[in-house]
Amino acid sequence: MNYTEARNYIENTGSAGIVPGTDIIRELLERLGNPEKKLNVIHVAGTNGKGSVCTYLESALLECGLKVGRYASPSVFRYLERIRLGGADITEEQYAGAVTCVKEAADLMRIKPTGFEAETAAALLFFREQNADVAIVECGMGGREDATNVFEEPLATVFTPVSMDHMAFLGNTPDEIAINKAGIMRRGCPAVIAHMPEVISGGKKYDPEETLKREAGIRGAVCIPSDDDLVPAGFVNPLPGAYQHDNLNTALHTLNAIKNSLHNLFIGHIITDDIAMDGIRKACWPGRYEKIKINPVIIRDGAHNPGAARALRAALESDPDLPKTRKIHLIMGVFKDKDYEEILRIMLPLAESFTAIDLPDKKRGLPSAKLAEAAEKVKMETEDICGDLSVCTADSLRDALDSAAPSEEDVYLVFGSLSIMQLFDDLMD
């Protein structure tokens, strides 16, 4: 297959929806020679912060001279960015080759893999064939029944903050979601647990951090909490946003947890804290509290659930570089299965105006008119705070930003989905 044929195969294989469980991908991987058993894996689960933590880890390990693979889905800016090796995206030719091997194996199966299962297998096969030293693998969704949950002895499992997301598949409470994510833990393997805030759901408070710590004990994993702050005093975080401090701290705890294993595996490499920090200084993760313009200030952020919205709000409120007399204008697009009303309750009190836009994926995206209706509803509920808020829709991101005349006070925040980042390509035309 060529690249176009490989993409078509991934998009059309298996069932049309998500099929939780690992039986199918385990059979597929066995037919491929079990590449997952020959990889040194850092397996990362969580609702928010996975991408940032993986970015820090990738940058640190690359600086130490290791050949680092990274797998994450979905893509944000480029399709092939979901499979990376050595800090670069997989090429079209390499992608087509890996997917061709997967298709040949899948054709022998009675039940065909879904696109995510097939692509996960392709990524693991690619990392193995390219002799990756370490593979950083993000869960697609959840943990216990995620297609990535196939590693018997990972270097470490890592857990970033848990929030309410994908409830139809993962559970109806933060505790249920955390327990699902804990399914990637392995007996005797480090389980690095980020410091994470309490989550309020249904009027009750939940502590997913404590739930994960308890699950580590039950499952016999080596629980490594991120309670101590390992970020050096005065260190300038390369990723903006106050919430990135905790993500960096989680990454540093992970590096500490696997340090001895790395020394034993790669005797010829010099792997030190100083070299790792040099790598982290080079970390770059677009689309997370990213200021793409200064006058007026335009910020883009992929926040798409209540936990991410709270972190985004805290970043805005604590950002010393924003004007003190700032007027915040929200531009939002969101998928229809997200808790967008709760996101609006968190964000609208900050704003002077709210503009709803459509996402590129019209099938999954919430129509802008319905999002504007939800904003009007939340505005009515919080009239004492949002009474003067203006609510409207726009046909495109370009139209929404047309009113962004140069001003020292105005701050435009584009958020609600990682896929909203694709709309910025049109602005560059």
The pLDDT value recorded for residue 165 is 58
The pLDDT value recorded for residue 17 is 55
Phi, psi at 135, each rounded to 5°: -120, 125
Tell me the two tokens of residue 259. 């340090």
Alpha carbon 69 to chain centroid, angstroms:
16
Same domain, 420 and 272: no
Instruction: State which of 240, 257, 280 marks the end of a domain.
Output: 280
User: How far is the C-alpha of 227 from the C-alpha of 56, rounded, in Å?
Assistant: 18
Same domain, 339 and 423: yes
Sign of CA dihedral 62, 64, 67, 69: negative
Burial 294-330 (b: 16+ CB within 10 A, else e): eebbbbbbbbbbbbbbbbbbebbeebeebeeebebbb
User: How far is the C-alpha of 337 from the C-alpha of 360, rounded, in Å?
Assistant: 15
Same domain, 224 and 313: no
Same domain, 233 and 95: yes
**What is the domain extent for residue 178?**
3-280
Same domain, 66 and 207: yes
Give the three-state DSSP class for 427: helix
Residue 349 vs residues 260, 384, 387: alpha-carbon distances, Å: 48, 10, 9
Residue 255 in any domain: the answer is yes
Same domain, 102 and 216: yes
Per-residue pLDDT of the chain (429 residues; tens, 9 = 90+): 999 999 999 999 876 556 678 999 999 999 999 999 999 999 999 988 999 999 999 999 999 999 999 999 878 888 999 999 999 999 999 999 999 999 999 999 999 999 999 999 999 999 999 999 999 999 988 789 999 999 999 999 999 998 765 444 555 688 898 999 999 999 999 999 999 988 777 778 889 999 999 999 999 999 999 999 999 999 999 999 888 999 999 999 999 999 999 999 999 888 999 999 999 999 998 888 999 888 889 999 989 888 889 989 999 999 998 988 889 999 999 999 888 999 999 999 999 999 999 998 888 899 999 999 999 999 988 777 776 889 999 999 999 988 777 778 899 999 999 888 888 876 654
Distance between the two ends of the chain, CA-based, in angstroms?
32
CATH number at residue 186: 3.40.1190.10
Residue 285 in any domain: the answer is no
Instruction: State which of 253, 280, 307 marks the end of a domain.
Output: 280
The pLDDT value recorded for residue 142 is 79
pTM of the entire predicted model: 0.90
Tell me the two tokens of residue 252. 């540093």
Same domain, 30 and 120: yes
Number of domains observed in the structure of the chain:
2
Same domain, 303 and 266: no
Tell me the two tokens of residue 50. 């996975």
Same domain, 220 and 303: no
Same domain, 218 and 343: no
Residue 64 in any domain: the answer is yes
User: How far is the C-alpha of 9 from the C-alpha of 32, rounded, in Å?
Assistant: 17
Residue 330 in any domain: the answer is yes
Same domain, 142 and 172: yes
Same domain, 96 and 195: yes
CATH number at residue 344: 3.90.190.20
